Amino acid sequence: MKTLQTIQKLSKIGKVISTIVFIASIIGVVGCIAGIIALACIPEETFSLGGVTIHGIVEKSDDISIGTCYTMMTIAIIMCAGEAVLAKIAELYFRDELADGTPFTFDGAHKLMRLGICDICIPLGTTIAANIAYEIMKYSLQDVAEMNIDSAVSVGMGIMFILISLLCKYGAELTQSKDTEKKTIS
């Protein structure tokens, strides 16, 4: 039973971390949307500190242009949204596992399998979507800097979740067969 207690503690930690990542990702999405709106709609004189404006800083910079700012924020929206979805799936798995009190359930194994598949597919999908958005914005905006859009596509982590889900399913099968034997004996 000590191992089960350790698993439950790790599930609590996983749930908290997943919740924090979800909230941070939503803040990232909202912050980037606000940044795009601010850059596009608010006159540059509105945010001035000592006569220096954001537009002025960007225009004087050799490395970054307004078009690059828009592009970077758009890409960040896509990446943060994908991370928010993945964090929410993980949070729901940990919540349900804690409610069940064990990872060895058929439903829990199915959800862990889904988490593993999503852990592979979502980062890959967001990277592809971000690259498409970059190419569109590079074509339609001026002075967009070259960017290398790379995501930590966690194939290894996804495969690990999938393998662990199979172990959890096997544990659920063993538990079910023991319960069936007890009922047969009684």
Cα separation, 178 vs 129, in Å, equals 48
Q: How confident is the model at residue 10 (pLDDT cuts 50, 70, 90)?
A: very high
Instruction: Report the percentage of the chain scoring pLDDT > 90.
Output: 58
pLDDT digits (tens, 9 = 90+) for 45-81: 655 556 666 556 555 555 677 788 889 999 999 999 9
- Range 108-118 average pLDDT: 95
Measured CA distances, 3 to 65, 99, 103, 158, 162 (Å): 54, 17, 12, 23, 21
For the chain, how many structural domains are there in total? 1
* Residue 107 belongs to a domain: no
* Residue 66 belongs to a domain: yes
Cα separation, 27 vs 38, in Å, equals 16
* Residue 57 belongs to a domain: yes
φ, ψ at 90 (rounded to 5°)? -65, -45
Yes or no: say if 25 and 87 are a contact pair by the CB < 8 Å rule: yes
φ, ψ at 65 (rounded to 5°)? -125, 170
147, two tokens: 């960017």
Q: Cβ neighbours of residue 180 under 8 Å, at least 6 residues apart? A: none
* Residue 146 belongs to a domain: yes
Question: Domain range for residue 59?
Answer: 2-98+120-153
The DSSP H or E segment spanning 48 is: strand 48-49
* Residue 105 belongs to a domain: no
